[in-house]
Structure 1
Amino acid sequence: MDTSVMDLPAPVAARLRRPGWRDPRLLAGLAMVAASVLLGSWAVRTAQATVPVYVTRGALVPGDRVAAEDLAVVDVRLGTVDLDHYLRADRPVATDGVAVRAVGRGELVPASAVGSSDELDLRPVSVTLVRAPSSDVVPGALVDLWFTPPAPEDDAEPAEPNQLAGALTVAEVSTPSGAFGASGGSSVQVLVPSSLLPVILTALAAEGTVDVVPVLGTGG
């Protein structure tokens, strides 16, 4: 039996080739790193970007003229509010713009709160009070008007008060100084829809008392 051993060629170890610049895997990795850097940079810039927006210095009530010089400007970060809903300071303000609804002091001015005087169907009416008004009765607050008939001269049951109007906007409050302010003599100017003028003017001319009752939470 032939027991000779055949000499086989020794295996040659495969050499790992260093990836070149044209290797698809290397290019894909570089692209992912570059995209991550750009995305992070964009996120940082966006988080730091601000837009100037107008805020009120004092309460605005319907009919007030809205002009840039009467407002303050604050910088608002992008993404914190929908800036298209507010009056931006980097855009011109209409020269004939007026407030068409109340905006509290120090609030961002909604774009929808500024319009034309033609949109308003309100008339200012002054109500003289027999008692000092509540501290919640301030410009921009909402109030209800109540009428109390005079007390009967005989033993008849007194008539109950009745509400004349609800949620009227206060335009102005005048309170005399000194002792008269505590006992009465104050007047509150409210904005009344045209349709309610007959009822309210009749009550103001009649014997009895008209009271201004604040709607809580609207006095700023």
Structure 2
Amino acid sequence: MSTDPLPAPVAARLRRPTWRDPRLVVGVVIVAASVALGSWAVSSAGRTVPVYVADGTLTPGETVDVARLRTVDVRIDSGTELYVRADQELPESVVALRVVDDGELVARSALGDAADVDVRSVSVPVDQAMSTRVTPGAVVDLWAVPEAPAGSDAPAADPSPLVTDVVVEQVDEAGTGLVVSDGATLHVLVPAPDLPAVLRALGDSGTVTVVPQAGTGV
């Protein structure tokens, strides 16, 4: 039996990776993709659009200009065209077509021509204390409250609704605390078809009562 020693193993020589090495190419692609993705995420997070929000409640028919708006920077991933951009010129002679609450983003659909608003402002005296929830933009109902017949013990006729879902445009004399004081005047926006009935009730001997709807106002 031969006792010759086994030949010593020869150390493999390490080859410097080249551009032809697929592992190196894959690694470079992964690093480049990670850098690009990170840059996109950072730039997207910091990209904002200046848009207008209402500086106070806007009511239907009210003229809207930059004095009634303020600018905020928001990040909107899509649908930017639905809102009024503050870096673009605001159209002249536009009015609010619906109620836009204080601080609400102004949608393009909320602004339009005065001819598109079919309401009229009517002054309604307030003869009783009323919650301060009755503020501009609040939705109320108007009821006619007949007066009892003079010189008769007969009771007054039951109150009846005049018009529902009308918007409060303005409160002339708001009281402090939790109520609108007796003697205040509300300006409400009445649809043109309901105007004759409301004006007739305001001219009668009875009263017109403003009834706030639950969940409206501030």
TM bucket by the smaller chain?
0.7 to 0.9
CA RMSD of aligned residues (A): 2.7
Structure-1 separation of matches of 2:76 and 2:99? 25
Q: TM-score, normalised by structure 1?
A: 0.84
Q: For 1:63 and 1:91, locate their aligned partners in 2 and report how far apart those are by CA, in whole Å.
A: 22
Structure 1 segment 133-148 matched on structure 2, within 5 A: 133-148=130-145
Post-superposition shift, 1:102?
0.9
Deviation at 1:62, TM superposition (A): 1.0
Which of the numbers 27, 44, 47 marks the counterpart of 1:46? 44
Q: d(CA) in 2 for partners of 1:119 and 1:129?
A: 29
1:25 aligns with 2:17: no
Give the SS at the match of 2:202: helix
Distance 1:18 1:120, change over 3 A: same
Equivalent residue in structure 1 for 2:83, among 79, 82, 86? 86
Give distance in 1, aligned partners of 2:165 and 2:89. 32
Cα distance in 2 for partners of 1:182, 1:172 equals: 14
> Residue type of the partner of 1:96?
S
1:109 aligns with 2:98: no
Specify the code of the residue in structure 2 equivalent to 1:112. S
1:165 matched residue in structure 2: 163
For residues 59-94 of structure 1, the C-alpha deviation after alignment (integer angstroms, 9 at most, x for no partner) is: 111111111233111111243x84333211111110
The aligned residue for residue 68 of structure 1 is 66
- 8 Å CA contact 1:47–1:78 kept in 2: the answer is no
Count of equivalent residues: 213
1:16, distance to aligned residue in structure 2 (A): 4.7
Segments of structure 1 that go 5 or more residues without pairing to the other structure are none
**TM-superposed deviation, 1:11:** 8.3
- 1: CA distance, partners of 2:9 / 2:214: 93
Counterpart of 1:100 in structure 2 is 97
Using the alignment, how far apart are the partners of 2:181 and 2:113 within structure 1? 39
1:101 Cα deviation from its structure 2 partner: 0.6
Q: Which amino acid aligns with 1:206?
A: D
Percent identity (aligned): 51
